């Protein structure tokens, strides 16, 4: 009987010691004594909304220094528009610190996504998409291949004064390019780089021999390619000013 009483006494003593610690760590008590009163945001970011960032972190700071859910706060910030990833820490005695790493847009992807410079896709919804980004597309598992062909084809066309504005890879593995002059280049599935290189070498000569605009080039031929031309658009009429009477 005495042994049982001693065991119960030890359990009660341990509970009395542990309970305040558990209460502090869970924010049941102590939030007023050790509040998080400062938010410190770091990182080179331009597009992340600072007001939205503060609003997102505020609920996590209200439980006090010891009870703040750093993993939850970090996850919440990482879901904000333009945020690639975030790191959230606490600094004694009252600072909640967040480091934000922002997406740097490289291209539009299949219309409803953006591709970052780090090669990551992220939603374009709710984002003011920068103008002038190229349009890339294809299976998400082949992002790196699409970017690689875009960079290579861009280097091919630049010396002849043309810019690649679109690169697409369809589910069957066939490549298509779009140029800034409106021309579309159907490359096909095999030997894409060799076909493009051969076409670019001959393109300046073809353009000088034609009084029309290149509309479509189909490179899916063993020994050549097929070209479709369109009439040169007529210049816009300049409205004449009426003379004063």
Other beta carbons within 10 angstroms of residue 137's beta carbon come to: 20
* CATH number at 31-102: 3.10.20.310
Cβ neighbour number for residue 180 with a 10 Å cutoff: 13
Q: What is the pLDDT of residues 87-144, one digit of tens each?
A: 999 988 888 899 999 999 999 998 789 999 999 999 988 788 889 999 999 999 999 9
Beta bridge partners of 176: 168, 186
Q: State the pLDDT at residue 45.
A: 79
Say how far apart CA 77 and CA 61 lie, in whole Å. 13
Tokens 């609003």 found at: 55
Does 68 score more than 70 pLDDT?
A: yes
Q: What's the pLDDT score for residue 125?
A: 80
pLDDT at 3: 55
β-sheet bridge partners, residue 121: 115
CATH 3.40.50.11690 residue ranges for the chain: 106-230
Share of the chain above pLDDT 70, in %: 81
> What's the pLDDT tens digit per position in 170-201?
999 999 999 999 999 999 999 999 999 999 99
Return residue ranges of the chain for CATH 3.10.20.310. Answer: 31-102
Distance linking the first and last C-alpha atoms of the chain: 122
Q: Tokens 């369109």 belong to which residue?
A: 230
Q: Quick check: 155 pLDDT over 80?
A: yes
CATH number, span 106-230: 3.40.50.11690
């Amino acid at each position: 009987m005495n042994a049982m009483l001693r065991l119960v006494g030890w359990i009660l003593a341990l509970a009395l010691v542990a309970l305040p610690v558990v209460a502090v760590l869970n924010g049941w008590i102590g939030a007023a004594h050790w509040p998080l009163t400062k938010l410190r945001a770091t990182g080179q970011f331009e597009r992340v909304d600072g007001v939205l960032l503060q609003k997102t972190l505020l609920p996590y700071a209200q439980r006090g220094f010891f009870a703040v859910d750093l993993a939850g706060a970090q996850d919440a910030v990482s879901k904000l528009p333009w945020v690639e990833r975030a790191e959230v820490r606490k600094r004694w005695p009252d600072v909640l610190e967040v480091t934000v790493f922002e997406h740097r847009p490289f291209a539009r992807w299949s219309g409803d996504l953006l591709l970052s410079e780090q090669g990551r896709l992220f939603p374009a919804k709710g984002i003011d998409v920068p103008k002038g980004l190229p349009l890339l597309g294809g299976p998400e598992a082949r992002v790196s291949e699409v970017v690689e062909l875009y960079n290579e084809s861009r280097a091919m066309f630049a010396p002849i004064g043309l810019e690649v504005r679109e690169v697409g890879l369809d589910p069957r593995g066939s490549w298509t390019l779009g140029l800034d002059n409106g021309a579309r280049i159907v490359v096909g599935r095999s030997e894409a780089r060799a076909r493009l290189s051969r076409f670019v070498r001959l393109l300046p000569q073809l353009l000088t021999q034609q009084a029309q605009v290149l509309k479509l080039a189909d490179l899916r031929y063993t020994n050549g390619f097929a070209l479709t031309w369109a009439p040169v658009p007529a210049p816009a009429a300049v409205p004449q000013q009426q003379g004063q009477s």
